[in-house]
Amino acid sequence: MTTTQTVTAPTEKTPRRVPGESGMWFFVLFESLVFTSYFGVYLYYRAQHEAAFLRAQSHLDLWLGVLGTIALLTSSWSVARCVQTARVGRYRLALRDAALTAGFGAVFLTLKSIEWARQIHMGNTFTSGDFFQYYFFFTAIHCVHLLIGFVALGVLAYQLASPRRRSQEIVETCATYWHTVDFLWVLIFALLYVAR
Amino acid sequence: MGTTFNKRLLAVWLVLSAITVIYLWIDRSADDRGAPTASTVVTVSAITLALVKVRIIMREFMEVRHAPPLLCRLTDLWVVLMAAALLGMYFVGKAAA
């Protein structure tokens, strides 16, 4: 796609096309399968040791999980707006939305750090039993994905910052990655905090 | 056009956030006088609601609804696959317990 081209938001009349690069969608589908297999193993063991998992799970603060989830959903909303504003050529607004995305991502990361610190302070670590082994594994691997998401947002902002670089396809690719980090958390949250 | 789209995104965000808040009610309803109890209904509801949210994120935020039918069908198939794998493993685990 031409880097300086102003594109319109998709409507029912615009030709259908894959948002971003196709390769990113292969990654999205692959990562979803990898995480689904982790979640499947977790649910299998959880169902077999319900009492032990429930006891350990009661140490988590559901409100903190809800706040983190809403922060990440808000970041996804921001990056979705960023894609649309970039598409109609409003690049300053798109840059602001990218900054908001990073800001809400940072809020999520802060809440997660607070929760980790609280759990470790209470003596719940990676070796404290099956539930906390899964808890730290899922949340840590998700955080690695989130940190890569910040790099993707940096690439997105770099693209938007100069008229010589603007590529809508790269903006959409980076946003697709960020949304993937968001929906993986939606699943992790349901399984770790709510499942009984 | 942009304004219309942003209103739709706002509505999507509100729905996703509302579903997240519903989890608080589901969680409280499962407690037995404050003590957490195992519940298949809660677990299945939590997984189902999460997958509904995943589909909404894919369709709306990730713009799959404007993508070619192949990607629309593929992402829907993936959500069904995830549902089958998660619920399947949960019930197999319960049966083996």
Q: Is residue A187 part of a domain?
A: yes
Residues A41-65: tens digit of each pLDDT: 999 999 999 999 999 999 999 999 9
As for how many domains chain A has, the answer is 1
Domain of B30 in residue numbering reads as 2-96
| B8-54 residue pLDDT tens | 999 999 999 999 999 888 877 766 666 778 889 999 999 999 999 99
Q: Which residues of A touch B5 (CB under 8 A)?
A: 9, 84
Pair A175, A156: CB distance under 8 Å: yes
Domain assignment present for A128: yes
The count of structural domains within chain B is: 1
Cα–Cα distance, A65 to A130 (Å, whole number): 20
More confident residue, A44 or A164: A44
How far apart (Å, rounded) are the C-alpha atoms in residues B45 and A79?
28
Could you tell me if residue A8 is inside a domain?
Answer: no
CB contact under 8 A, B24 and A46: no
Residue A18 domain-assigned (yes or no) = no
The confidence score (pLDDT) of residue B30 equals 66
ipTM value greater than 0.95:
no
* Span A2-23, average pLDDT: 66
The domain that holds A152 is classified in CATH as 1.20.120.80
Q: How far apart are CA A26 and CA A120, in angstroms?
A: 36
B:32-51 residues touching chain A, CB 8 A cutoff: 36-39, 42-43, 46-47, 49-51
Considering only CB atoms, A195 lies closest to which of B17, B46, B54, namely B46
Domain assignment present for A21: no
Q: Does residue A39 sit within a domain?
A: no
Its domain, for residue A139, covers: 62-194
Q: Is residue A77 part of a domain?
A: yes
Minimal-distance CA residue of chain B relative to A79: B61
Q: Is residue A68 one of the residues assigned to a domain?
A: yes
pLDDT at A162: 87
Q: Is A136 on the interface with B (CB under 8 A)?
A: no
